Structure 1
């Protein structure tokens, strides 16, 4: 964990420089680009953004395992969370007319008091995974009240599905399923393990139902209120032996492509990086923690710390 933490911090400074310089080029600060140059710069930015996501996932994983991940509980409406997710993630399927992403409108009265940034991170990981493995079909995201004052989030897709013998392995770190249908999809095998750890950190859990060739449904069950936390604290994920109350009755189950314009550069107050802001960012990259690509400014601020 210490090695991962140190290495990820070392990666952030050059990554921030790449992302900021890419933004400067796309803002035409030094003149116009040809269409081919613009396309290549977008590829550079996309690759750096993907690497930044991996670095951040590794750092989060190291923090969870070291028991040093901050939890910031606050009250929020699930409808507002879904609105932010809709804006962030719908562009991911905009270029694929064969796949649709439907994020439902939850009950406006559905309110949670937990760490919104981490709930958002869990759902983004699950939705991104669904998009990755659904070449044609539909992804449906919902939220409903569950038993024992819980909220159940569901991400259902009509993708390639998961074999019964692999439905536990997908939650193992750095594990990718070696099946013909999944070999063509690249990833690090970090998203689902991290999501499960984050759910446990919030007192809940994740379960999956899937059938090969027909699709998968991932359900995240979280307490509506994270009790016992009146201020920011640092927690470690509970061990597997201590089943969280929110997941009583649940059985243990047997990655994001961002649009070129969302390279994860540091936003201004208005959420848009100007050329002058980008220059200042490049000059002051030492020690700067690159935000995750494609996330709303409020989420970045909540995850920073």
Structure 2
């Protein structure tokens, strides 16, 4: 047996070690608390910065809308010859102004909608609607801009899709973005819009797809295509204007509807962009607000 002095020395050493460990643990706890406090401060600063950004975007978007609306109105009056005839060169110049003002308006609208989503000011208002009515509205909307005779816009008949209970305005906005992009990047061929029902994990969904025969997207760009300000690096892309916000906004709107977005594309063969939403959204009282 160990002598009592040896036991006492071992006990004292153990107590000293425990005290040292306790001190180290207390110091670690103080460091963790300080880290949590710093993270809370940074989170508050980030929320404040995000709120300021959303306010700025909303304010600037509203301020831009009035002069842009005035420019579009004046150019329409000129193009309608309300103040007299135009020469061929004058008509081309006025048309150029009108088109640029319209593109700028679309960018401003995307910025404003994005600011609203980030600020949590967009509500989902579901209601019953038919595919026939939705596709007819989209067809009428794009009829005036189908100026390329080498591209056809085709809406497939959605015979197997019943009435859908969702927010048709937000769904139409997503599909408008898809169709607009498809028409931009399809020099020839067709843009085809379709809808079909599917069952996933016991839930009924409806999937809308916009398929084109355009320039396609390189595989390495697929992961970033739905991010803010993402654009395709191609000669055709560089010749067109835009902020790259349309697909990012579409993704957020789809999430508001309880759905998701996705795409499949191959260079020089075309692209398919889809949005999948529940066939029956939650009642308006239970809908999610971003």
Equivalent position SS for 2:175: helix
Equivalent position SS for 2:195: strand
Contact 2:150 2:188 in 1 (8 A): yes
Check if 1:103 corresponds to 2:158.
no
Which residue does the alignment assign to 2:213? 158
Contact 2:123 2:289 in 1 (8 A): yes
Check if 1:215 corresponds to 2:270.
yes
TM-score (norm. length: structure 1): 0.71
Equivalent position SS for 1:75: strand
Deviating above 4 A after TM superposition, structure 1's stretches of 4 or more consecutive aligned residues are none
In 2, Cα distance between the equivalents of 1:189 and 1:41?
26
**Runs (5+) with no aligned partner, structure 1:** 237-305
Give the superposition deviation at 1:213.
1.7
TM-score (norm. length: structure 2): 0.75
Give the superposition deviation at 1:24.
2.5
Change in CA separation of 1:48 and 1:121 when aligned onto 2, cut-off 3 Å: same
Equivalent position SS for 2:191: strand
* Cα offsets for 1:28-57 (capped at 9, x unmatched): 333333333233222222111111111000
Which residue does the alignment assign to 1:235? 289
* Cα offsets for 1:113-133 (capped at 9, x unmatched): 111111111001001111111
Check if 1:6 corresponds to 2:59.
yes
Which residue does the alignment assign to 1:66? 119
In 2, Cα distance between the equivalents of 1:191 and 1:78?
23
Aligned with 1:172 (options 202, 207, 227) = 227
Give the superposition deviation at 1:180.
5.0
Aligned with 1:88 (options 117, 138, 141) = 141
Larger helix proportion of the pair: 2
Contact 1:133 1:185 in 2 (8 A): no
Contact 1:79 1:108 in 2 (8 A): no
In 2, Cα distance between the equivalents of 1:144 and 1:35?
47
Contact 1:135 1:159 in 2 (8 A): yes
Give the superposition deviation at 1:108.
7.7
Aligned with 2:172 (options 120, 141, 146) = 120
Equivalent position SS for 1:195: helix
- The aligned runs of 1:182-201 (5 Å cut-off) are 182-201=237-256
Contact 2:160 2:197 in 1 (8 A): no
Check if 1:53 corresponds to 2:106.
yes
| Coordinate RMSD, CA, aligned | 2.0
In 2, Cα distance between the equivalents of 1:185 and 1:20?
23
The higher relative CO (CA closer than 8 Å, separation ≥ 6) is in 1
* Cα offsets for 1:202-239 (capped at 9, x unmatched): 100111111122111111101112213149x7810xxx
Change in CA separation of 1:226 and 1:26 when aligned onto 2, cut-off 3 Å: same
In 1, Cα distance between the equivalents of 2:77 and 2:237?
37
Contact 1:68 1:234 in 2 (8 A): no
**Runs (5+) with no aligned partner, structure 2:** 1-53
Equivalent position SS for 1:217: strand
Check if 1:205 corresponds to 2:260.
yes
Equivalent position SS for 1:69: coil
Contact 2:138 2:176 in 1 (8 A): yes
Which residue does the alignment assign to 1:137? 189
In 2, Cα distance between the equivalents of 1:162 and 1:17?
37
Give the superposition deviation at 1:179.
4.0
